[in-house]
Amino acid sequence: MIESLLIANRGEIARRIIRTARRLGIRTIAVHSDVDAQMPFVREADQAVCIGTAPARDSYLRQDRLLEAARETGAEAIHPGYGFLSENAEFAEAVVAAGLVWVGAPPAAIRAMGLKDAAKARMIAAGVPVTPGYLGEDQNPARLQAEADAIGYPVLIKAVAGGGGKGMRKVDDAGQFAEMLASCQREAAAAFGDDRVLIEKYILSPRHIEVQVFGDTHGQVVHLFERDCSLQRRHQKVIEEAPAPGMDAATREAICSAAVKAAQAVDYVGAGTIEFIADGSEGLRADRIWFMEMNTRLQVEHPVTEAITGQDLVEWQLRVASGEPLPKSQDELAINGWAMEARLYAENPATGFLPSTGPLDRLRFPRDARIDSGVEEGGAVTPYYDPMIAKIIVAAETRTAAAAKLSRACAAVEVWPVRTNAAFLARAAADPDFVAGRIDTGFIERHADRLIPSPEPSAAVLQAAAAAIVPPPANDPWSALSGFRANAPSARQVEVEVADKPYLVELEPLAPPASVSGGVLFLGGEAWRFGGRRADHAGGGASTGDGAILAPMPGRIVSVEVAQGATVAKGQRLLVLEAMKMEQALLAPFDGIVAELAAIAGAQVAEGSLLARIAPKDG
């Protein structure tokens, strides 16, 4: 077994690996940027080395500094985690050349599956079914448009070197193609240094099904069943589960066998995921599932597979990298129960899911769930890395029970002042269509009106706010007589101000269950600030009431799509800001004229910077 391990990653990823390594008696070495020096993963490792400044390109992506840190600390092996350099064949080769153990896929397999077009060609040769599309070398926009026209809309433009939902655009008609292509290529170039794309037929009722595979150096490859990752927003996974709802035994056998065949075709070693797209319009069927891509690493959502199989996949990685055979044979693996995982992000659903940064003055998680998190109360969410705060994982005997447990867990999250998607997640897990298994990748977009919490306070919020401001006497017998009437109602009227708007609330003796701490109300995954008779929701956004368009967080202006003096319509895209590894479109808040334009394409901007100002037409 490996005796010492350098983890070339950060946050919850590093903590997850450290947890298993410690149990196995392996010495762990953390690497960190200067802004991460006080993070929990740094303290939890046996040793830590600072490798650079905050931007990932100056620290976590510095291959030379990672190898130097391994030499300095006497590390025997390097685990890349997931993300950053985990699927970088050059880094894997450099690790091996340095005489270290690489806890990951073989470089040849990473290369074979790293480019989507080449991977699909290899899968076709191996007899694995693939999605119809264009995989050609000709990247001329006119040729790409012609291929999309021939395939038939809608189509999906995907970065050849893509992953993690980046460099991907759905195009509904020919008129959108040029704009979407340019945006996709721009994002792909920024994220992967490669702007080449492929075109796929977009499946109208798509289900995202993926299979966990594992190979060892003794020629064995097994699968650990499937996961359903269909609940997505902008191609980013939101809720994952295992097994997949509606999967019968015959279809499971077909898709899992195809996954094993795909892994064997590239002599795979270690943890990997074969991703498939399924046409769910008539339920899951073996002849309507196609290969999309392979992720040659451990996945963010691996805990749901661990929950239903009872296996520690990081331990499997470490044992395989040490030359041991797989811990279990295929016949020894079975599905037990149901598991779900929700990704808690620092983002505000009420403002188009714009990322949120800042201190974590309060951070409380539910106790009846597995929490994989990289941050802690008193820390902060910075603009430098992925905005995920935690993964909330639950398990139960049935899917219905797991969904109810996940919804309760997300509703119990308390975070302040950073905004989160906790209430959105709680609603999604409790949605009747989700509970019934009526899901596909368009679920969130289709049900956004009932999933995204309103910026207006609900009746439950107002009632809890009123009770927090004027709590009823603890031992007043009259307060308990909710049905008693003697010339006046028993309820007291209390004025509550939320976002400068007054509300008159009937204060009942029994307020809804809520938590109040430090002048902040937490209820159902939401957070509302109080100040005397005032209560402000943890809202915010990229525009203000006077039409000022502000940078929601530090970032780079990718494009400016209007000119000063131009007439704009409500919802029209004004500019695109790249922040926290994603492009954010900033829109006109109302019909008007661009009275002021300070944004310049390519410029870096600070949070709160004035980028533009929209004036009413009559103003």
* DSSP letter string, 533-578: TEEEES---SB-TTSEEE-SSSEEEEEE---TT-EE-TT-EEEEEE
What pLDDT, on the 0 to 100 scale, is given for residue 275?
Answer: 94
Cα(190)–Cα(86) distance, rounded to whole angstroms? 18
Average confidence (pLDDT) over 132-141: 90
What pLDDT, on the 0 to 100 scale, is given for residue 508?
Answer: 73
CATH class held by domain 4-103 = alpha beta
* Residue 301's pLDDT band (cuts 50, 70, 90): very high
Ranges 166-175, 211-220, 490-499, 605-614, most confident: 211-220
User: Is residue 148 over pLDDT 70?
Assistant: yes
Q: Of the candidates 218, 343, 230, 229, which has an alpha carbon nearest to the alpha carbon of residue 270?
A: 218
Report which of residues 517 and 537 the model is more confident about. 517
548-615 shares the fold of 337-454: no
**For residue 165, is it left (φ>0), alpha (ψ between -120 and 50) or beta?**
left
Amino acid at 516: V
Active-site residue, selected from the candidate residues 62, 288, 297, 399: 297
Which of 199-232 are b and which e, b meaning 16 or more Cβ less than 10 Å from the residue's Cβ? bbbbbeebbbbbbbbbbbbeeebbbbbbbbbbbb
List, for residues 570-609, the tens digit of each pLDDT value: 889 999 988 766 678 888 989 999 999 999 998 888 777 8
What pLDDT, on the 0 to 100 scale, is given for residue 164?
Answer: 66
297 catalytic per annotation: yes
- Is domain 132-201 in CATH 3.40.190.170, yes or no? no
In order of 352, 387, 545, 557, 558, the CA distances from 542 in angstroms are 10, 17, 10, 14, 16
Q: How many CB atoms lie within 10 A of CB 397?
A: 10
* Residue 230's pLDDT band (cuts 50, 70, 90): very high
Q: Of the candidates 146, 147, 123, which has an alpha carbon nearest to the alpha carbon of residue 134?
A: 147
Average confidence (pLDDT) over 192-208: 90
Domain boundaries, the chain: 4-103, 132-201, 337-454, 459-537, 548-615
Helices (H) and strands (E) in the chain, counts: 17, 36
Residues listed for the chain: 619
Sign of CA dihedral 583, 589, 593, 595: negative
Q: What is the CATH number of domain 548-615?
A: 2.40.50.100
In order of 10, 72, 134, 591, the CA distances from 543 in angstroms are 33, 49, 40, 13
CATH fold for domain 337-454: D-amino Acid Aminotransferase; Chain A, domain 1 (3.30.470)
Cα(237)–Cα(168) distance, rounded to whole angstroms? 13
Q: Dihedral of the CA atoms 39, 353, 16, 317 (nearest 10)?
A: -140
pTM: 0.81
DSSP secondary structure of 414-434? EEEES--SHHHHHHHHH-HHH
Amino acid at 602: G
Q: How many CA atoms lie within 13 A of 404 on its CB side?
A: 6
